[in-house]
């Protein structure tokens, strides 16, 4: 007996575009080698499906219905784009695609004729066969085989999961493909069925259960598909009798709304039939004995990147699907490098859900790629135009989610709505605190989350110490809409904000109890929910009091994650609220201003920074808070040091140390030494500076890195080792300097703190590698600095990274690019008021310009650096400035150049000796030795160089030492 099946359902599930109201499936039109099925929107050539876009196919149907008759362009546009204004060019694009698919004008075939300015005529002879052949795949020679139509679209990104399910079916008699709506369960099931029965020569039957409204009809639906007569209220015995002895795979599609009935039927069938295999698709498992569950993941999407190219993007199945569906509607569409990051963003926002991606692709012809990205913020209004012949629950994203939502019990609906207030991941504690109220208890939440996971509405990540959960973005957006529709949004948002305020308050108390990395694991993942809570708190219906408190508690989170730009903007918003209040809280204002000052240092303070820290000091003294007095003194010291006021900086550093000595705070004493040592170094007092750093790093410190970072921006041990490396190099210990610089980078990497890492790279690892001439290390360190400063949006460190990159490029021989990059970075430093870094960069720039003959610009740069150094008492690099000035004077044609240059070199040498700056002393001696050698006269330079070289105990493989050795042996 031949096996029957519901052809329309299988066509629809296979990808055929079957409209809601279908004429007889036998209606067909034949022309040439083609068969056109207008009702199903199927075009065959020689019995095989022809890939052609839906709109091009609709144009073909319109023309073939009236063969030999001119159909106007206006009629075609009205039919294909109803209620939409489109340009005539769109019609031409689809006509061209249709001609290509038909092979029009190829081998003498002619189908479409253009009537210029008016319309088109279908000119080929047409016939109406009585029984046209539909596309089928014959799975074996078994007389009971069922012919499943081939899909008209490719299955993308599912090859591995199809293979996995085929293997599971071989081992288990029942497999359920589980996943949310639109994820592609049916498509995968049909591919699995095709592969499974082809390999085993089995029969296959397909039942679409979606139309059923009565669970009692489940066995009847299977019996109807099989052609088994139903003669009792219980068809199961007849089904078992019919199937016994047959090797068969039954596909039960869309089981979620009748899952209990399907589970009961499946259990009875499997108990009575040895060779039966069942493949089910559902949004939750059937939970029957022997069931193997395969959860269907989203299509893979690329990580966010502005550098994503079209070629890279097209390696991801989600983007392949988007491009294919867009191309079906816009025949000339090609993914470009410009659009690739935008398409990646679309697919990510839609969680790699195939249905949502197809719906988004269907709107590109109306809004363009950028328009779709913008409109995805209101995705339910955008994603409302699916295929007309798709199952009703798949025609819009809203209807798809409505289908799942309506199948939930009432308490599960309430829970899903409330969970929609979360952004990204949450754990069971958060879910219970936020969602449990009124009729929903904590126990309901625990059980409900498990149920929603089963029903593919909540995703679970259980591969961690604490399991965490999330709603896919589309599901979360739907749940939030339900919250609004039920007038529950503000209450849920309040509970959500209060929970995260309490969480961050707890985080603050744990700061000194946990290691930095442990704290990051525990709290770093909450940043998206904190952002959402703040957005609500400062909204029209929010609570600014909660918002201010939450902002203050979140500062430690932003600081730890190096999100300083976000910290600044959030703090400014909270400060506006505090100032607007009638009775402003001075302590709150002090804490917010402190956070603002810290943020400004990393992103470029400008004149605002000094004002902020002065205000903090004023309030701290007013309320008697020593901790914030220390923070304010630190902030004012930073302003002085970065602005080039080193004498005032030393005074503030000593005030800090004096106040720290009056406390029992080990961190304050630790930092006091660092501040004094740093100021002494910049003033050229390197020996005193090193003494303070040695004392600092010898002090035991019990405070965690996180606590140090929150109070003083960086991990202090990292900062101490980084700055000590600078002093060691200047004093003539290049190997020790490299060791400390690399150690500070490794320590910062272990902490996973972006700001501390940028400090270690910018203050030590990059300049030390360049000073020693280690180009390999320089390339690595500069690349790392640029990457991390960009990732954490730290403009100051980005500028420093470009500055070092320019130096590196110049030394590699790319003079024009190096000078351009270095010059731009210097301008940025000047504009930002960072005199500290600006002076050293000017010195490097001047030397580079001089070496390529740009003497006027070189002199201007070195003169600016010398003036700035003298004005700011920035004496640490004065010996090098004088030496470079001498090199530039020597390059000028003036007859007095040699004498003047020699004078500058001697000044440089004498000042370096006075400071105990052996590395600068060596460089000055090298310049003198080169001068004497080039001028061919005997002097003291060789002796001075030999004495300087002899005082080194390490660093013999550095660039300066190698050059010195060459000069000495000659």
- Tokens representing 303 are 């990580």
DSSP 472-503: -HHHHHHHHHHHHHTT-HHHHHHHHHHHHHHH
pLDDT of residue 202: 65
> How many CB atoms are located within 10 Å of the residue 696 CB?
25
- Rounded to 10°, the helix 775-791/734-751 angle is 30
Higher per-residue confidence, 133 vs 733? 733
C-alpha pair distances (Å), 766 with each of 130, 760, 811: 80, 9, 14
Model confidence band, residue 650 (pLDDT cutoffs 50, 70, 90)? very high
Judge whether 770 and 729 are in contact, CB under 8 Å: no
DSSP 8-class letter at 684 = T
Higher per-residue confidence, 24 vs 537? 537
Residue with tokens 């690019």: 817
Judge whether 18 and 12 are in contact, CB under 8 Å: yes
pLDDT of residue 712: 60
Range from 514-528, 821-835, 921-935 carrying the lowest mean pLDDT: 514-528
- Domain 159-295 matches domain 408-487 at the CATH topology level: no
310/344 Cα distance (integer angstroms): 10
Closest C-alpha to 791, from 173, 304, 371: 304
Cα three-residue angle 361-366-368, rounded to 5 degrees: 65
pLDDT of residue 124: 82
Query: Which contacts (CB < 8 Å, 24+ apart) does range 257-261 have?
Result: 257/209, 257/210, 257/212, 257/403, 257/407, 258/209, 258/212, 258/215, 258/218, 259/284, 259/286, 260/215, 261/215, 261/216, 261/218, 261/219
Looking at the predicted structure, is the pLDDT value of residue 624 above 60? yes
Residues in Cβ contact with 225 at an 8 Å cutoff, skipping those fewer than 6 apart: 3, 4, 5, 6, 205, 206, 207
Looking at the predicted structure, is the pLDDT value of residue 846 above 60? yes
pLDDT of residue 606: 62
pLDDT of residue 908: 95
Domain ranges of the chain: 26-122, 159-295, 310-398, 408-487
Secondary structure (3-state) at 43: strand
965/194 Cα distance (integer angstroms): 77
DSSP 8-class letter at 426 = B
- Tokens representing 881 are 């400035």
Model confidence band, residue 456 (pLDDT cutoffs 50, 70, 90)? confident
C-alpha pair distances (Å), 109 with each of 38, 100, 302, 328, 403: 22, 12, 44, 24, 48
786/152 Cα distance (integer angstroms): 48
Q: What percent of the chain has pLDDT over 70?
A: 84
Q: β-strand 34-37 against 29-31: which pairing, if any?
A: antiparallel
pLDDT of residue 211: 74
174/293 Cα distance (integer angstroms): 9
DSSP 568-584: HHHHHHHHHHHHHSTT-
482/686 Cα distance (integer angstroms): 66
- Tokens representing 147 are 């012919």
C-alpha pair distances (Å), 717 with each of 318, 659, 706, 751: 46, 21, 12, 11
Model confidence band, residue 920 (pLDDT cutoffs 50, 70, 90)? very high
Tally of CA atoms within 13 A in the half-sphere of 42 that contains its CB: 30
503/496 Cα distance (integer angstroms): 11
Residues in Cβ contact with 262 at an 8 Å cutoff, skipping those fewer than 6 apart: 209, 218, 252, 255, 280, 282, 286
387/103 Cα distance (integer angstroms): 26
Q: Of the segments 517-531, 635-649, 848-862, which one has the largest average pLDDT value?
A: 848-862
Q: For the segment 125-183, what is each residue's pLDDT rounded down to a tens digit?
A: 888 775 444 444 333 334 334 445 445 456 788 888 999 999 999 888 999 999 888 88
Range from 71-80, 312-321, 757-766 carrying the lowest mean pLDDT: 71-80
pLDDT of residue 474: 77
Phi, psi of 672 (to 5 degrees): -55, -45
pLDDT of residue 18: 39
Q: β-strand 276-282 against 291-295: which pairing, if any?
A: unpaired
> How many CB atoms are located within 10 Å of the residue 332 CB?
12
328/50 Cα distance (integer angstroms): 12
pLDDT of residue 932: 85
C-alpha pair distances (Å), 644 with each of 565, 766, 817, 826, 875: 24, 21, 29, 15, 11
Q: What percent of the chain has pLDDT over 90?
A: 37
pLDDT of residue 888: 94
Stretch 24-45: mean pLDDT: 73
Stretch 66-70: mean pLDDT: 85
Stretch 535-550: mean pLDDT: 92
Range from 113-122, 443-452, 727-736, 954-963 carrying the lowest mean pLDDT: 113-122
Task: Please name the fold of domain 26-122.
Answer: Arc Repressor Mutant, subunit A (1.10.10)
296/274 Cα distance (integer angstroms): 28
Element (H, E) at 29: strand 29-31
> How many CB atoms are located within 10 Å of the residue 440 CB?
17
Looking at the predicted structure, is the pLDDT value of residue 958 above 80? yes
DSSP 8-class letter at 216 = G
C-alpha pair distances (Å), 956 with each of 734, 735, 750, 924: 9, 9, 31, 17
Q: For 408-487, CATH number?
A: 1.10.10.10
Higher per-residue confidence, 188 vs 608? 188
> How many CB atoms are located within 10 Å of the residue 611 CB?
14
Q: Which residues pair with 207 in a beta bridge?
A: 252
pLDDT of residue 965: 93
pLDDT of residue 389: 40
Judge whether 211 and 11 are in contact, CB under 8 Å: no
Stretch 623-633: mean pLDDT: 91
Judge whether 663 and 686 are in contact, CB under 8 Å: no
Task: Please name the fold of domain 159-295.
Answer: Rossmann fold (3.40.50)
Q: What is the edge-to-edge ordering of all strands in the sheet holding 119-122?
A: 70-72, 119-122, 112-115
pLDDT of residue 817: 92
- Rounded to 10°, the helix 489-509/473-485 angle is 120
pLDDT of residue 706: 46
233/8 Cα distance (integer angstroms): 27
Stretch 441-470: mean pLDDT: 84
Looking at the predicted structure, is the pLDDT value of residue 933 above 90? no
Looking at the predicted structure, is the pLDDT value of residue 498 above 60? yes
Phi, psi of 536 (to 5 degrees): -70, -45
Closest C-alpha to 6, from 220, 234, 289: 220
Q: For the segment 332-383, what is each residue's pLDDT rounded down to a tens digit?
A: 788 999 999 999 988 888 888 888 888 888 788 778 888 888 877 665 555 5
Model confidence band, residue 116 (pLDDT cutoffs 50, 70, 90)? confident
Stretch 248-275: mean pLDDT: 90
Looking at the predicted structure, is the pLDDT value of residue 1 above 50? no
Range from 205-214, 310-319, 388-397, 747-756 carrying the lowest mean pLDDT: 388-397
C-alpha pair distances (Å), 385 with each of 75, 411, 686, 941: 21, 31, 72, 84
List the end-to-end C-alpha distance of the chain, in Å, as a whole number: 104
- Tokens representing 410 are 């009432």
Q: β-strand 276-282 against 42-45: which pairing, if any?
A: unpaired
pLDDT of residue 760: 93
Q: For the segment 691-725, what is each residue's pLDDT rounded down to a tens digit?
A: 999 988 887 665 444 455 556 666 778 888 999 99
440/737 Cα distance (integer angstroms): 62
Stretch 505-514: mean pLDDT: 65
Looking at the predicted structure, is the pLDDT value of residue 603 above 50? yes
What is the pTM (predicted TM-score) of this model?
A: 0.62
Residues in Cβ contact with 241 at an 8 Å cutoff, skipping those fewer than 6 apart: none
Model confidence band, residue 8 (pLDDT cutoffs 50, 70, 90)? very low
Q: Where are the alpha helices (DSSP H) in 664-774?
A: 666-682, 686-698, 705-712, 716-730, 734-751, 754-760, 766-772
Looking at the predicted structure, is the pLDDT value of residue 231 above 80? no
Range from 89-98, 115-124, 925-934 carrying the lowest mean pLDDT: 89-98
Model confidence band, residue 564 (pLDDT cutoffs 50, 70, 90)? confident
- Tokens representing 640 are 């002085």
């Amino acid at each position: 007996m031949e096996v029957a099946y519901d052809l329309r359902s299988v066509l629809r599930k296979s990808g055929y575009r079957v409209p809601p109201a279908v004429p007889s499936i036998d209606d067909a039109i034949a022309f040439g080698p083609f068969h056109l099925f207008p009702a199903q929107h199927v075009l065959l050539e020689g019995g095989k499906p022809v890939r052609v876009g839906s709109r091009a196919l609709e144009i073909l149907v319109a023309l073939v219905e009236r063969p030999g008759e001119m159909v106007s362009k206006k009629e075609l546009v009205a039919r294909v784009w109803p209620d939409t204004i489109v340009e005539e060019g769109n019609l031409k694009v689809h006509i061209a695609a249709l001609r290509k698919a038909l092979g029009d004008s190829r081998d003498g075939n002619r189908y479409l004729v253009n009537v210029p300015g008016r319309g088109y005529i279908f000119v080929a002879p047409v016939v109406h066969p009585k029984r046209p052949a539909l596309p089928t795949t014959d799975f074996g020679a078994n007389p009971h085989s069922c012919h499943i139509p081939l899909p008209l679209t490719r299955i993308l990104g599912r090859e591995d999961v199809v293979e996995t399910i085929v293997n599971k079916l071989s081992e288990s008699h029942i497999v359920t493909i589980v996943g949310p709506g639109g994820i592609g369960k049916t498509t995968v099931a049909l591919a699995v069925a095709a592969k499974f029965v082809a390999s085993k020569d089995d029969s296959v039957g397909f039942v679409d259960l979606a139309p059923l409204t009565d669970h009692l009809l489940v066995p009847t639906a299977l019996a109807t598909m099989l052609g088994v007569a139903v003669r009792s209220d219980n068809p199961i015995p007849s089904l078992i009798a019919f199937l016994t002895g047959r090797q068969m795979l039954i596909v039960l599609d869309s089981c979620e709304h009748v899952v209990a009935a399907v589970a009961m039927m499946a259990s009875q069938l499997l108990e009575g039939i040895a060779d039966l295999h069942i493949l089910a698709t559902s949004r939750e498992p059937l939970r029957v004995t022997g069931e193997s569950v395969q959860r269907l993941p989203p299509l893979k999407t690329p990580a966010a990147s502005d550098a994503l190219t079209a070629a890279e993007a097209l390696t991801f199945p989600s983007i392949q699907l988007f491009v294919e569906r867009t191309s079906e509607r816009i025949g000339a569409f090609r993914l470009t490098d410009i659009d690739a990051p935008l398409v990646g963003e679309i697919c990510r926002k839609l969680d790699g859900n195939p249905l949502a991606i197809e719906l988004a692709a269907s709107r590109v012809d109306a809004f363009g790629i950028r328009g779709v990205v913008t409109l995805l913020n209101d995705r339910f209004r955008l994603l409302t135009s699916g295929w007309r012949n798709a199952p009703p629950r798949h025609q819009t994203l809203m209807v798809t989610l409505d289908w799942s939502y309506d199948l939930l019990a009432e308490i599960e609906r309430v829970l899903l709505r409330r969970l929609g207030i979360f952004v990204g991941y949450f754990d069971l504690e958060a879910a219970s605190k936020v969602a449990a109220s009124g009729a929903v208890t904590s126990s309901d939440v625990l059980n409900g989350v498990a149920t929603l996971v089963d029903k593919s509405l909540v995703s679970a990540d259980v591969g961690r110490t604490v399991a965490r959960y999330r709603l896919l973005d589309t599901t979360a957006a739907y749940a939030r809409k339900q919250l609004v529709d039920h007038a529950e949004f503000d209450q849920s948002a309040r509970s959500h904000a209060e929970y995260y305020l309490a969480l961050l308050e707890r985080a603050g108390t744990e700061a000194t109890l946990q290691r930095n990395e442990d704290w990051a694991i525990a709290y770093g993942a909450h940043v998206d929910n904190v952002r959402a809570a703040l957005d609500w708190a400062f909204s029209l219906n929010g609570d600014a009091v909660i918002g201010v408190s939450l902002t203050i508690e979140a500062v430690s989170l932003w600081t730890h994650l190096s999100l300083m730009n976000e910290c600044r903007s959030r703090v400014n918003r909270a400060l506006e609220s505090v100032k607007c209040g009638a009775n402003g809280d001075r302590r709150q204002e002090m804490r917010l201003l402190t956070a603002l000052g810290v943020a400004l240092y990393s992103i470029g303070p400008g004149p605002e920074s000094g004002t902020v820290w002065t205000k903090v000091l004023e309030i701290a003294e007013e309320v008697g808070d020593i901790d914030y007095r220390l923070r304010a003194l630190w902030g004012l010291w930073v302003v002085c040091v970065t602005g080039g006021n080193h004498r005032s900086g030393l005074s503030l550093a000593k005030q800090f140390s004096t106040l720290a000595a009056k406390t029992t705070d080990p961190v304050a004493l630790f930092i006091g030494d660092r501040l004094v040592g740093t100021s002494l170094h910049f003033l050229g007092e390197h020996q005193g500076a090193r003494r303070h750093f040695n004392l600092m790093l010898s002090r035991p410190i019990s405070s965690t890195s996180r606590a140090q970072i929150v109070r003083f921006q960086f991990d202090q041990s990292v900062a101490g080792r980084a700055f000590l490396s600078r002093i060691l190099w200047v004093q003539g210990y290049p190997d020790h300097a490299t060791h400390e610089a690399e150690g500070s980078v490794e320590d910062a990497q272990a902490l996973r703190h972006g700001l501390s890492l940028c400090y270690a790279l910018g203050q030590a690892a990059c300049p030390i590698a360049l000073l020693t001439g280690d180009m390999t290390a320089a390339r690595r360190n500069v690349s790392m600095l640029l990457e991390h400063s960009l990732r954490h949006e730290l403009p100051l460190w980005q500028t420093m990274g470009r500055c070092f990159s320019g130096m590196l490029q110049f030394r590699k021989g790319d003079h024009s690019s190096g000078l351009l990059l270095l010059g731009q970075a210097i301008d940025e430093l000047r504009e930002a008021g960072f005199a500290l870094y600006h002076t050293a960069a000017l010195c490097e720039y001047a030397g580079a310009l001089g070496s390529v003959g740009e003497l006027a610009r070189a002199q201007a740069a070195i003169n600016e650096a010398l003036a700035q150094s003298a004005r700011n008492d920035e004496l640490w690099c004065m010996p090098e400035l004088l030496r470079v000035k001498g090199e530039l004077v020597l390059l000028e044609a003036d007859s007095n150049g040699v004498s003047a240059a020699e004078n500058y070199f001697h000044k440089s040498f004498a000042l370096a000796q006075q400071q105990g700056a052996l590395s600068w002393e060596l460089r000055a001696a090298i310049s003198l030795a080169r001068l004497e050698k080039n001028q061919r006269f005997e002097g003291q330079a060789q002796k001075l160089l030999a004495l300087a070289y002899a005082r080194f105990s390490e660093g013999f493989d550095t660039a300066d030492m190698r050059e010195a050795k060459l000069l000495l042996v000659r």
